Amino acid sequence: MNFANKIYKKFAGTILLGSLCFAGVVSQSCTEDIDQSNRYTFTGETIVDYLENRSDSFGDFLTILSRASVKERSSAGEESKGSVKHLLATYGRYTCFAPTDSAIRNFVRQQYEIWYNDSLAVLRGDLPADEARKTGITSPEFDELSDSMCAAIAKDHIIEGEIYHTYDLGEGALGRPNMNDRYIASRFVPDENTGVVSLKLNDASTCISQDNDAENGVVHVLDKVLNPSNEL
């Protein structure tokens, strides 16, 4: 009887060991078969973090965001002034169209030239004063932008309360206006030579990097500053 018990225990142990080995092989095989190349790694970046971590491209835009004031309401219902930059560093739902530094510098120069040329035309008598274009930019230097212009530029590029990826967009105005209560128009334009389709906003700015997800929204990078839209 003792001999039979020993045989049984030895046999049971062998079965148990074999089961564990088999389970280990299956577990290892399953782990190795997982394709992790498409897995999203959460970085925890807010929109401001995204821009600051790429400050060599968005330093001017960050300056504009920090100088653009906005009313903020505390949990107690008290209003205070903050900045658009602070807003984009908090939890919420935002779509940010971020122009590069070169796009902002070009915009400042172009708007200055428009103001300067129209001002000269008025002085020469070639243009009625009420027809002169007032861009709000009277210097080609970025550092001389007024706070009000910084606020206008910043709010033109932010949609609060909604996250729009490129696959959410179609031909026409987005469903929610920007912080200046203007609608941004989108359309997809194929390149005549390559056929590659690009997203254009307000018929001027091209999205050169899209769907950059952040913890509180999404960032689309633009090659030109958004022209103010007339869509109310």
Whole-number Å distance between alpha carbons of 43 and 50: 10
Q: Which residue has the higher pLDDT, 71 or 21?
A: 71
Q: Which residue has the higher pLDDT, 78 or 232?
A: 78
In this prediction, residue 19 carries a pLDDT of: 44
The b-or-e profile of 6-27 (16+ CB within 10 A means b, else e) is: eeeeeeeeeeeeeeeeeeeeee
In this prediction, residue 13 carries a pLDDT of: 46
In this prediction, residue 81 carries a pLDDT of: 75
Look at residue 17 and tell me whether its pLDDT is greater than 80.
Answer: no
Residue 144 structure tokens: 């001389």
Average pLDDT over residues 176-182: 96
User: What is the reported pTM?
Assistant: 0.76
Question: What value does the mean pLDDT of the chain take?
Answer: 82
Of 66, 133, 63, the C-alpha closest to 104 is 63
Q: Which helix (H) or strand (E) holds 57?
A: helix 55-67
Residue 46 structure tokens: 């807010």
pLDDT in tens, 184-219: 999 999 888 888 899 999 999 999 999 999 999 999
* pLDDT category of residue 140 using cuts at 50, 70 and 90: very high
Q: Which helix (H) or strand (E) holds 5?
A: helix 2-33
